[in-house]
Amino acid sequence: MRSVAVVGTGQTKHARRRDDVSQAELVREAADAALADADMCAEDIEAVLIGNMELFEGRGLPELWVGGGAYGTGKPVMKVATGGTSGTSTAIAAFHQVGSGLFDRVLAVGFEKHSEGHTQTGMALTDPFWDRAVASGALGNFALSVSQYVAAGHATEDQAALVAVKARRNAARNPHAHLQMPDLTVDEVLASKMLAHPLRMLDMCPQSDGAAAIIVASDAVAREHNPRPAWVKATATRHDQCYIGDLDRRLLSMRTLRDASAHAYTQAGITDPVRDLDVAEIYEPCTYAELAWYEALGFCEAGEAGRLVEKGVTSMTGALPVNPSGGVLSTNPVGASGVIRVAEAACQIHGRAGQRQVERADLALATGYGVYAWADVVVLGSEP
C-alpha cells in the first residue's frame, strides 16, 4: 500500500443537545472544519465515508439523509457500520481507499445525535431469542464483565474513579468536549449514583450530539496540504463472537483489542508501547474499561492497570498520556467517537491540539471499541 496520511481534522462542539442544527448541518460543521484544517475545498474531495449508529436516531439510512451535508453529492458515498467501532472503521476504510490508489482525497465523517433518538431502545435491539428477553442493553452487559474484572482483583473502585477524574479534567482543556469538569474529585465520583453494580454514573460515558471528520490524502497531496501530516503506520480490526455467554471472561481477556494491537504494533515496529508511543486516544466506554484496555494494549501486566493510573503514567504529564481530549468518558456521539479518537491522535501529530497538546507527539495510538464484538487499532506517526 502507498503512504497515506490524515491531513485535516474537524470537530463540532459536542453537547447533550445540538437543537441548533439538523443532522446534515451537524455533519457539515465537522466537514467544513476538517476541510479548512487541510486547506482544501469541498470540490477537492473525491469520495465520502460516513459512520453512524443506525437506530440511535429515529430514522434509517443515515448515509442518505446526511450524504449531501458531507459534500457527497456526485461522489462515491457509503456508510461503514461495525457497532461502536464504526468511527474507527470508517477512518480505516478511508485509509484503504487512498492506500489502494482508488482516490487521493477522502473525507471520513462520523456523527450521532443521541438527543434525537432513544439510545436505550437502540441498544436493546439485540437478538430477540437470547439477549433481548433477559438482558437490558449495554449497561448490564458492561456491568457483568466489570464485576468479573473487579472480582478477579484487577481494579478497585478508587482506581476506576481516578480514571473518571483524569478524563473530565483533561476534557476541561478541550474546547470540543461535552463534559468538562476541571474540579472533579474521586469522592464525587464515588458518591455518584449506582447504575448497575459496580458501575456508577460518573464511571460511564455520556450520550452526546456531535460529529467529527478527517481528511485522508495520498503521499504527495498530504505533503502539499499539511506541514506535518499524520502518517498511517498501522491499522488492525478484529471481530468476535456476539453472545456474551460464549466468551464469559471478556473484559479480562479482551482478545479483540489484544490481537488487534499486537498486529498493529508489529506493523509499526512498536515493542514497548509505553516507551514507544507518545500519546494514546483510546475508546473507553467506562472507567474500568480504560483500565482493562491498558492490559490488553500491553501498557502493563495483567492486574497492574490500577497502579498505572495511580502513578500518573497515563496523565498529561506521565510517560504515556492517555486521552488528552477527555476521551469517550467526556464526549460520546457514538458514530463519531471512533473518528474523534483518530482525529485527536492526528491532531497531536499535527501539533494543533492547543491546550491539550502533548510534548513531542511523533507516534500516536487510536483505538475503537464495539461492545466486545469489535476492536480497531490505528497507529499514526510523524514519518511515513
- The answer to whether residue 135 forms part of the interface with another protein (CB under 8 A) is yes
The grid coordinates of residue 221 equal 497531496
- Min dist. Cβ of residue 244 to another protein (A): 6
The answer to whether the beta carbons of residues 96 and 36 sit under 8 Å apart is: no
- Min dist. Cβ of residue 370 to another protein (A): 17
The Cα–Cα gap between 365 and 381 comes to 9
DSSP 8-state symbol, 16: S
- Using CB atoms within 10 Å of the CB of residue 14, give its burial: 0 to 12 exposed, 13 to 18 middle, 19+ buried: buried
Q: What is the residue type of 5?
A: A
Nearer residue to another protein within complex by CB, 77 or 143: 143
- The answer to whether residue 106 forms part of the interface with another protein (CB under 8 A) is no
Judged by CB under 8 A, the chain residues 45 through 104 that form the site for another protein are 58
- Min dist. Cβ of residue 193 to another protein (A): 8
The answer to whether the beta carbons of residues 366 and 384 sit under 8 Å apart is: no
- The answer to whether residue 243 forms part of the interface with another protein (CB under 8 A) is yes
Single out the residue of 187, 224, 246, 383 in contact with another protein (rule: CB under 8 A).
Answer: 246
Cα–Cα distances in Å, from 129 out to 135, 138, 145? Answer: 11, 17, 21
- Min dist. Cβ of residue 44 to another protein (A): 34
- The answer to whether residue 258 forms part of the interface with another protein (CB under 8 A) is no
- The answer to whether residue 120 forms part of the interface with another protein (CB under 8 A) is no
Span of 98-106, 183-191, 217-225, 244-252 interacting with another protein by CB under 8 A: 244-252
- Min dist. Cβ of residue 198 to another protein (A): 8
- Using CB atoms within 10 Å of the CB of residue 349, give its burial: 0 to 12 exposed, 13 to 18 middle, 19+ buried: buried
- Min dist. Cβ of residue 207 to another protein (A): 16
Nearer residue to another protein within complex by CB, 134 or 317: 134
The Cα–Cα gap between 276 and 363 comes to 7
Q: Where are the alpha helices (DSSP H) in the chain?
A: 23-37, 62-66, 86-99, 119-124, 138-151, 157-171, 186-191, 219-225, 250-253, 255-268, 273-276, 287-296, 305-310, 327-330, 334-350
- The answer to whether residue 24 forms part of the interface with another protein (CB under 8 A) is no
Nearer residue to another protein within complex by CB, 178 or 250: 250
The Cα–Cα gap between 76 and 201 comes to 41
The answer to whether the beta carbons of residues 31 and 69 sit under 8 Å apart is: yes
Judged by CB under 8 A, the chain residues 189 through 218 that form the site for another protein are 193-197
- The answer to whether residue 144 forms part of the interface with another protein (CB under 8 A) is yes
The grid coordinates of residue 225 equal 496540504
The Cα–Cα gap between 357 and 151 comes to 37
Nearer residue to another protein within complex by CB, 31 or 66: 66
- Min dist. Cβ of residue 140 to another protein (A): 4
- The answer to whether residue 153 forms part of the interface with another protein (CB under 8 A) is no
- The answer to whether residue 303 forms part of the interface with another protein (CB under 8 A) is no
Q: Please work out the total of residues on this chain that contact another protein, with binding judged by CB under 8 A.
A: 32
Q: Which residues bind another protein (CB under 8 A)?
A: 19, 58, 128-131, 133-136, 139-141, 143-148, 151, 193-197, 241-246, 248
